[in-house]
Amino acid sequence: MTGSRIAADTADNRVTSSFRSLPANDYSSFLARLQSAIRANDRNAVIGLISFPLRVNASGGVRLYRDAGAVRRDYSRIFTSKVTRAILDQRADQLFTRDQGTMIGDGEVWFDRPCINGKCAPTSPIRITAINP
Where are the domains positioned within the chain? 27-115+122-131
pLDDT in tens, 62-102: 999 999 999 999 999 999 999 999 999 999 999 999 988 99
Task: Find out whether 91 and 1 touch, Cβ atoms under 8 Å.
Answer: no
* Widest CA span in the chain: 45
The pTM of this model reads 0.80
Mean pLDDT computed over 17-37: 76
Rounded to whole angstroms, the Cα distance separating 32 from 48 reads: 14
* 27-115+122-131: CATH topology: Nuclear Transport Factor 2; Chain: A, (3.10.450)
Distances in Å between the alpha carbon of 52 and those of 27, 56, 89?
19, 11, 25
pLDDT attached to residue 21: 45
> What pairing do the DSSP bridges indicate for beta strands 61-65 and 50-58?
antiparallel
